[in-house]
Structure 1
């Protein structure tokens, strides 16, 4: 018997992210996974800017992340 495992391609959509403003830093994070309203880069401590990126869909079930201050 032959069984084939069908690979399902992930759904890719435009996602809101925070991107480091420092040109030499490559840090970014999804907006819905950020702990602060306006995060600071965890690598170089620069200001992060809003941006968009094509990423696979992930769901954040913890709705209270941004409420913690």
Structure 2
């Protein structure tokens, strides 16, 4: 019998989070709004424009002191 050493992840608390999604149909890139440094970001994978939306994600705090949008 096989016993995996990996333990199952605990259920992390989730909340509706503001994100930026890539507008390119062929790209599935997205990023959290609180980790963006530009007012209108571009996709890091395909360089297309991004649009604001929401997604259910685990709670994550950005503690960076440099978090200002230009």
Gaps of 5+ in 1: none
User: Is 1:29 paired with 2:31?
Assistant: yes
Structure 2 residue aligned with 1:55: 57
Q: Give the RMSD, CA atoms, in angstroms.
A: 1.8
Return structure 1 stretches of 4+ with deviation > 3 angstroms: none
State TM-score, norm by structure 2: 0.79
Gaps of 5+ in 2: 1-6
Structure 1 residue aligned with 2:3: none
